[in-house]
Amino acid sequence: MGIIGQGVIEALRLIFTFDPGVINITLRTLQVSGTATLISVLIGVPVGALLALKTFIGRQAIVSLVNFGMGLPPVVVGLLTWLLLTRYGPLGFLGLLYNPPAMVIAQAIIASPIVMGFTIAAIQSLNPKIRLQIMALGASRLQFLFLILKEARLGLLAAVIAGFGGVISEVGASMMVGGNVKGETRVLTTATVLEVSKGNFEIATALSIILLLISFIIVAVLTNLQQRGKLPA
């Protein structure tokens, strides 16, 4: 039996025996990536909506920076976050380095431009007549924003899916600012890298399978929300 087959068997064993180490790593993965995704949505959707709906000097440059940020290498984000949080850095007094909050910060920086970019595209792809109709009905600014976001909800859910996918699969930044400390900052991606470096390919494969399963389940739930009532006739 090959490494993949042994990895599948090992993954099933770890899952059905509720291995404490794997459960701990999995919960931390969900906690860190879930929190980072939530932060990126809270930042990315309002900023993306502002950039999509408003015209001002420098807007084009900011949108270009957002699009550039969508492809930022995670290791670069990790390095910048490390420099900010290191003992002698601007935020070193917070003592966050090599702790889960540092990983959340790094992942939120990675995901926020992704959410912003998808939000801009989702709102700008709406029919311009929708905006005129909402304004003609006398909606307030808050009501206008709410209705626009409601109309763009399919694209916004795509933004959430893309942001989550960008952080749960991330390795470099998490290792840089988290340190891959057992029981503290180790997540599924960093644990997989560690097991590969130790030559434990079956365990690494098992962890990868668990990561894929978790990602698929969460993305499937979000996709169901996105596509509900939108299936072609």
Tokens at 155, concatenated:
């694209």
What would the DSSP string read from start to end of 17-40?
TT-HHHHHHHHHHHHHHHHHHHHH
Q: CA gyration radius for the chain?
A: 20
Q: How far apart are CA 15 and CA 222, in angstroms?
A: 23
> What value does the mean pLDDT take over residues 196-221?
86
Tokens at 114, concatenated:
């992704």
Q: How far apart are CA 123 and CA 111, in angstroms?
A: 18
Flag whether pLDDT at 63 surpasses 70.
yes
Is pLDDT larger for residue 128 or for residue 193? Answer: 193
Would you state the pLDDT for residue 112?
94
Would you state the pLDDT for residue 145?
81
Residues 85 and 153 sit within 8 Å (Cβ to Cβ) = no
* Beta strand segments in the chain, E: none
For residue 76, what pLDDT band results from cuts at 50, 70 and 90?
very high
Residues 104 and 97 sit within 8 Å (Cβ to Cβ) = no
* Nearest Cα residue to 173 out of 16, 57, 36, 18: 36
Would you state the pLDDT for residue 233?
46
Would you state the pLDDT for residue 229?
53
Q: Supply the pTM of this predicted model.
A: 0.88
Sketch the domain layout of the chain as residue ranges. 28-191
| % of the chain residues with pLDDT over 70 | 95
Tokens at 25, concatenated:
């790593």
Pick the CATH number of 28-191 from 1.10.150.130, 1.10.3720.10, 3.90.1150.10, 3.40.47.10: 1.10.3720.10
Is pLDDT larger for residue 89 or for residue 1? Answer: 89
Q: How far apart are CA 170 and CA 178, in angstroms?
A: 12
